[in-house]
Structure 1
Amino acid sequence: MDFLHDTFAIEIVDYDKWHERSRTNNFFELVYVLSGTGKQSINYVLHDFEEHAIHLVSATKCYRYIIESPARFLIVRFTGSYFVPLTQEAVDYSSWFSRLNFILANHKPGELVPDPEDKVQVKRLLDAVLYEYERKDPGSAFIIQSTLVAVLAIVSRNIQKEILKHRDFTDTRFADVLNFISFNILDKNKITVRYLADKFHISETYFSEYFKRNASESFQDFVLKSRLKIAESRARYTDATLQVIAWELGFTDSSHLNRMMKKHFGRGMREMRKEAV
């Protein structure tokens, strides 16, 4: 039976053979393999899985599991409001929404956490989620939600490592600059030349040249493309209107967002949304 909360639901499922599941109105699912082996099929591309594998499944992806030995899954089903702060809780999760968008915009099918040490840490955290799921104490929902924030932080770190793995920078600080921008991309106050120059102790007048020398593109283009990638993921994986997506990402309106998307990626928002159906 599901453990239901306003922002997520948890279930344990056992399969000798995969069958389709109802997945309506969810943002994405985090799948933790408690036991079993087989293959994960995402858009008909196969990826091996085994015990303790961790996967992310977006709401509109065509997916299934090919079960080779009896498998048990812990599935966390998120809604789009997961990082909206709740009035009765002390932690403000809204600051983590950029990280959620970063994950959706950059994740790939298959194993989410290839780093062995991080995988051990995620296993501990998800074991704690499993414990609270089985306990069903009045405080369990808040503990689960807080623990999932830590899980997604580790997932983000692994995705960023993969993105930066084959890039060499003339300045070792630059990876930290990119990480900070990626995880704060929706915070207009932090994504400014003045703020970043001050935070990373770089001359404000030199920052734009410094960024372009390391990234091979301008700071403005990098920020715009990062927001466009988030817009694409929101179009594909949520039912938010294109106007709302545009406003939340700092575009004047959906037409402005659409023009930028076509200019940089050759396709408009409606085309991207249709591709995900």
Structure 2
Amino acid sequence: MLRYRQYTPFSVLEWEADVWDFPVHKHNYYEIVIIRNGEGTHTINEQTFPYKQGDIFLLSPEDHHCFGILKKSSFCFIKFTELVFKKNKTDDEQRQWLERIETIIAVPNQTPGAIRFRGNDKEHILRLTSIILEEHKEQGSHSPEIVADGMSMLVSIIARNINYNYQPKNKFRTDLENSRISSILTYIRHNVYTPEKISVDAIAENFDMSKNYVGIFFKKHTGETLQNYLLNYRLFLVENRILTSNSTISSIAADLGFTDSSHLNKHFKRRFGMMPGEYRKIKHRGTTPSITPMMGNANT
């Protein structure tokens, strides 16, 4: 599958069309898509949703997607990597941003269609977008910092709404059980960077359960053990950082709760069949730069 590549940490494409001429593809960056006007369908990871004016989508690098235009449509594509936040940011601030977006990249496209916003949050997103686009075009004094801070707010508002709205459905669970397992999974996503907070003891204490019952309950409602889930989720985050950041393997290991890079290498190779560094080289070598004149240098 094609993977379009972007070499800059931030770019914007505003585009209007009657027909979508691009194949299903992935990116090496995150993408926020705002539908200015028009109607059609958006297929994400083989699920097709209708879109209309005002809809907003968040895509992670591993999401594959394409549009089908039914009525002439205007799009705003905001493409970014973690490098957009490095201007005048400390390592801790950069890490906090990565943690914030990693709490939602496993969630957005399991929810139906466009992001559902609460209250005035969609209006906040649209106002912030206008400021970001204006600063990006003008490139005035402090524009890079304003763009970075604006994007941080944008992602935070999106994260707040996705985390609020995400509720896994299973008709065989009671409402109480569904609420509890959903809360546990959300808790894990937010605390995966602090191993002591996602231990059996910590989960039992936070959710008023006995330590012996935590594992039984978790496997009953997810189909896998807590230990396997935590390892799988960490490896998912490792893969994302390998593909979307320039972080070293040792720093990724430290951030995501592995003892050291050797510990990470062992589990990563067992899952992906190769070492993390080799995986990064192969994936980057296999990406495809934009070759479509209609969309210029921006790689959607």
TM-score normalised by the chain length of structure 2:
0.65
Which protein, 1 or 2, shows the higher relative CO under an 8 Å CA cutoff with sep ≥ 6? Answer: 2
Amino acid in the other structure paired with 1:238: T
The aligned counterpart of 1:210 is 214
Shift of 1:85: 8.7
Amino acid in the other structure paired with 1:154: N
Shift of 1:29: 0.3
The aligned counterpart of 1:177 is 184
The aligned counterpart of 1:152 is 159
Q: 1:143 to 1:243 in 2, by over 3 A?
A: closer
Q: 1:88 to 1:227 in 2, by over 3 A?
A: closer
Q: 1:248 to 1:228 in 2, by over 3 A?
A: same
What is the CA deviation profile of residues 94-120 of structure 1, one whole-angstrom value per residue up to 9, with x for unaligned ones? 33423422433344386242x4xx266
Q: How many positions carry a matched residue from both structures?
A: 255
The aligned counterpart of 1:3 is none
Q: 1:17 to 1:122 in 2, by over 3 A?
A: farther
CA distance in 1, matches of 2:84, 2:31: 12
What is the CA deviation profile of residues 148-196 of structure 1, one whole-angstrom value per residue up to 9, with x for unaligned ones? 32122212333x32x3565445495553333111222122242234444
Which of 232, 243, 246 is the matching residue for 1:225?
232
The answer as to whether partners of 2:17 and 2:73 remain within 8 angstroms in 1 is yes
What is the CA deviation profile of residues 28-63 of structure 1, one whole-angstrom value per residue up to 9, with x for unaligned ones? 101111211122244676432211222233336554
The aligned counterpart of 1:127 is 126
Q: Per the alignment, in what secondary structure is the counterpart of residue 125 of structure 1?
A: helix
Q: 1:208 to 1:72 in 2, by over 3 A?
A: farther
Which of 248, 265, 284 is the matching residue for 1:254?
265
Shift of 1:19: 4.9
Please, which runs of 5 or more residues in structure 2 have no aligned partner? 1-7, 288-300
Aligned Cα root-mean-square deviation (Å): 4.2
The aligned counterpart of 1:97 is 98
Shift of 1:76: 1.8
Which of 76, 79, 82 is the matching residue for 1:80?
82
Q: 1:218 to 1:208 in 2, by over 3 A?
A: farther
CA distance in 2, matches of 1:43, 1:197: 35
The answer as to whether partners of 1:10 and 1:133 remain within 8 angstroms in 2 is no
CA distance in 2, matches of 1:49, 1:247: 40
CA distance in 2, matches of 1:201, 1:17: 50
Q: Per the alignment, in what secondary structure is the counterpart of residue 250 of structure 1?
A: coil
The answer as to whether partners of 1:11 and 1:75 remain within 8 angstroms in 2 is yes
Shift of 1:230: 2.8
